[in-house]
């Protein structure tokens, strides 16, 4: 019996292909995660605050209007708390 046959209504070769692709992508994600950690380590050693860099990265993912709304609310909350 070959992998390209249907077993229980499942195309085994297609299933294996999908599983192998996901495994490869997971390995690539691990490698990318390691690369990103290296960049953060480099930033830290250059004197940058990694926590602030991560906040900036999150801000850059948002729409400008959403960022402005959050900053306005943050300002209002700070004033309300006397900060």
pLDDT in tens, 32-81: 999 999 999 999 999 999 999 999 999 999 999 999 999 999 999 999 99
DSSP E strands in the chain: the ranges are: 6-7, 10-11
Instruction: Compute the C-alpha angle 59/62/68, nearest 5°.
Output: 75
Residue appearing with tokens 């294996």: 16
d(CA 10, CA 67): 47
Widest distance between CA atoms in the chain: 74
Q: Name the pTM for this structure.
A: 0.65
The answer to whether the CB of 6 falls within 8 A of the CB of 12 is yes
């Amino acid at each position: 019996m070959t992998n390209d046959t249907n077993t229980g209504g499942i195309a085994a070769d297609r299933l294996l292909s999908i599983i192998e692709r996901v495994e490869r992508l997971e390995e690539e994600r691990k490698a990318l995660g390691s690369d990103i950690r290296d960049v953060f380590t480099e930033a830290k050693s250059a004197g940058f605050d990694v926590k602030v860099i991560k906040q900036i990265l999150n801000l850059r993912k948002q729409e400008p209007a959403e960022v402005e709304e959050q900053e306005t609310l943050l300002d209002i909350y700070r004033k309300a708390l006397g900060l």
